[in-house]
Amino acid sequence: MPGDVVPLLVLLLCVQAVCGASQHKGCMPDPASAYRFTGAVCRLTYPAAAVLNEKTTEVIEAAFQHARYPKITGEKSILLIGTVKYGLDNLEIHNLSIGRSEFELRPPNSIGLKISNVSAVFRGTLNYGYGSWLMNIEHSIDFEIESHIDLGINPMLYCGAGKVAADTSDCYLDFHKLSLQLQGDSEPNWLKKLFTDFITFTVRLVIKGQICKEINKVANILSDFVQETAEAFLSDGSISMDIGVIAAPVITTNYIESYHKGLTNYNNISAVINESVFDPGQLTEDRMVYFWISDQVLNPMLAAAHQDQRFRFEVSGDEIIELFKKELVSPAPVFIEQCLGESVPPVLSVWSFSIPLLKTSPSGTSVQTEVSGMLQCGNPLTPTLYFQMGVEVVVTASYSEKKLFLHGNASEITILKAELQQNQQLLDAVQQEYLREAVEKIGIPKILSVLEPELTRLLDKQGANLFDIVNPEVLPQNGFVLIQMDFGFPQHLLVQFLQKTLE
């Protein structure tokens, strides 16, 4: 798998700075101390936060609708009347509408969020009774509470239990209107005034408490949802990725930045990162989102894919005949021409027999590996060609129109072994040069052309095609790859989240 391809599998990494358990029992005390353990970094700039904020009202609406309000009870002693007891049951929200949402990034670790002009009607049943030694009266009546509210939340991001969490305790509601309306006109005015004075005060406290509680609950659901979605996106079969955070995120007025482990897990064995080259100065603020991915993330992924036998390639039939029609400088050996000319087409199999080693530089991502190959001819009497080669390919990648494109050039091809198996006859220098040229001009381009749709398919399977990714750039640097892009709001994720929230 080419080196610049693997980073594209982390496109969900920074929808939120929310991940799994940390490499350490707790998070590092500050980001600077965590840099050398950092496998991946996400920087979400202010314009990206503004795009995400466009749908904040829908999340807040889910919090209002999902809130469950407890029974409210109280009593009051009234001269001549006695004790008035009341209970509000079955409180539900109706006719909810939410105005606009505003936000600001507040260094070093919080976000200011204000939701204006929330309008809602709360409906329920009022049970009340009053009396003295002379009389005792009990009634039940439906009621409505009309409200206009401004909501303010100042979530503080912190690192707790090995993941980024949001403390939403700084939550307040400003009630511009909260009026109680009893159904019917038969109730005495003094009773309406009593309930208006006392019940509305109680309802204010209950609504505030339950709404803020529900927002905190929704924040936790969102945290778990994004974590599960991201980790599912980065998993395929027996290979998975631990993207847990290792330090609290950093918030400036221009961006939110989170620091992730990026540890490959394969067969219950986890990779280790302790020599990362990350430095905040390697990222800019011109694009909406940045992903910084260390070579120390990519190499264990390649190793796991090799051990899982992902790097196997086979071509046969008319396709192999077409491939070898490419004109090469070196003359084709007689046994190759004989093999290709038989009535039953040959089968070419190629696989990696050593763990690929990846190294990124500004010129691209260099992948070094040793491969084995076998050309089996249709006639069993024709010798089978077996070869082992050391190959180094410099690969660059691009992503446009929801498709992945790979570009590669061989920088070194070394023949380690090449023989005809039946008689163990080694290839001579001329035959070896043909084989080397065929690998460079036929084999490598063919493998890249196969990887392009396969990796695009894998990205689509994980949902990358559902994102509105704008002008993505994959920039290889010394020891890391930087992916930068703009994007539109991932509406499909919001739909999935709201469905999960309202279950």
Is 101 in contact with 114 (CB distance < 8 Å)? Answer: yes
Residue 494: its pLDDT value, please?
A: 62
* More confident call, 177 vs 189: 177
Question: 189-233 and 56-66 are packed helices; what angle lies between their axes, rounded to 10 degrees?
Answer: 120
Helix (H) or strand (E) holding 425: strand 425-426
Which of 66-75, 283-292, 448-457 is most confident?
283-292
Q: Which residue has the higher pLDDT, 389 or 493?
A: 389
| CA gap 428, 416 in Å, rounded | 13
The per-residue pLDDT of the chain, averaged, comes to: 82
pLDDT digits (tens, 9 = 90+) for 92-101: 888 888 888 8
Range with lowest mean pLDDT among 176-190, 199-213, 465-479: 176-190
Residue 105 in this model has a pLDDT that exceeds 70: yes
pTM score, two decimals? 0.81
SS3 of residue 339 by DSSP: helix
Q: What's the pLDDT at 468?
A: 81
pLDDT at 169: 86
Give the residue among 485, 400, 389, 487 at the shortest CA–CA distance from 437.
389
Q: How far apart are CA 311 and CA 351, in angstroms?
A: 6
Query: Of 336, 223, 288, 222, which Cα lies nearest the Cα of 473?
Result: 288
Q: What is the pLDDT of residue 400?
A: 87
Query: Which pLDDT does position 23 carry in this prediction?
Result: 35
Residue in 271, 273, 299 with CA at minimum distance from that of residue 359: 299
Higher pLDDT, 462 or 481: 481
Residue 205 contacts residue 62 (beta carbons within 8 Å): no
**Residue with more model confidence, 201 or 115:** 115
Checking if the pLDDT of 401 tops 70, the result is: yes
Tell me: the pLDDT tens digits for 304-349? 999 999 899 899 988 999 999 898 999 999 999 999 998 888 999 9
Percent composition of the chain: helix, strand, coil (DSSP 3-state, to 5): 30, 40, 30
Residue 63 makes CB contacts below 8 A (sequence gap 6+) with: 211, 214, 215, 217, 218
Pick the range with the lowest mean pLDDT from 14-23, 36-45, 221-230, 291-300. Answer: 14-23
Using CB atoms within 10 Å of the CB of residue 62, give its burial: 0 to 12 exposed, 13 to 18 middle, 19+ buried. buried
82 or 6, higher pLDDT: 82
pLDDT-based confidence at residue 10 (cuts at 50, 70, 90): very low
Using DSSP's 3-state secondary structure scheme, residue 217 falls into helix
Confidence bin at 14 (pLDDT 50/70/90): very low
The Cα-based distances of 465 to 102, 281, 448, 459, 490 in angstroms read: 29, 31, 20, 7, 10
Beta-bridged to residue 469, according to DSSP, are 487
pLDDT tens digits, 351-383: 999 999 999 999 999 999 999 999 999 888 888
| Residue 68 contacts residue 206 (beta carbons within 8 Å) | no
pLDDT computed for residue 13 by the predictor: 32
User: Average pLDDT of 233-260?
Assistant: 87
CB half-sphere exposure, 356, CA atoms < 13 A: 32
Query: Can you give the pLDDT at residue 498?
Result: 57
What's the order of all strands across the beta sheet hosting 239-242? 239-242, 263-266, 269-270
Q: Nearest 5°: CA angle at 226, between 222 and 231? A: 150
**Residue-level pLDDT at 223:** 65
Q: Residue 297 has what DSSP assignment?
A: H
Whether the pLDDT of residue 419 is over 80: the answer is yes
Q: Is the pLDDT of residue 41 over 80?
A: yes
SS3 348: strand
Is residue 288 predicted with pLDDT exceeding 60? yes
Secondary structure of residue 252 in the 3-state scheme: coil
Higher pLDDT pick, 65 / 258: 258
